[in-house]
Amino acid sequence: MIDAHHHFWWTGRRTYTWPDQVGDRLARDFTPDDLRPELSRCGIKGTVLVQVLHQVGGETEECLDLCKQVDFVRGVVGWLPLADPDATSRALERLRSRGKLVGVRHLISNEPDPRWLLQDGVVESLKLLAAAGLAFDAIPVNAAQFESVLDVARRLPKLKIVINHLGRPPLPERGWEPWATQIARAAEHRNVSMKLSIGLDIIMRWRWSTDEIRRYSDHVLDLFSPNRVMAASNWPVILLGASYVETWNGVTALVEALSTNERHAVLGGTATRVYGL
**Residue ranges covered by each domain of the chain:** 2-275
pLDDT in tens, 128-156: 999 999 999 999 999 999 999 999 999 99
Torsional sign, CA 172, 6, 111, 178:
negative
When mean pLDDT is compared across 79-83, 111-115, 122-126, 204-208, the lowest value belongs to 204-208
What share of the chain has pLDDT > 70, as a percent? 99
Report CA Rg, the chain: 17
As a whole number, the mean pLDDT across the chain is 95
CATH architecture of 2-275: Alpha-Beta Barrel (3.20)
pLDDT at 17: 87
- Between the CA of residue 256 and those of 120, 170, 207, 262, 263, what are the distances in Å? 43, 23, 22, 9, 7
- From the list 201, 268, 210, the residue with the least C-alpha distance to 242 is 210
Spell out a b/e string for 66-81, using b for 16 or more CB atoms within 10 Å of the CB, else e: bbeebebbbbbbbbbb
Answer whether 0.75 is exceeded by the pTM: yes
Q: How confident is the model at residue 57 (pLDDT cuts 50, 70, 90)?
A: low
What span, in angstroms and rounded, lies between the C-alpha atoms of 17 and 27?
A: 9
Query: Looking at the predicted structure, is the pLDDT value of residue 15 above 90?
Result: no
What is the phi/psi pair of residue 41, to 5°? -60, -35
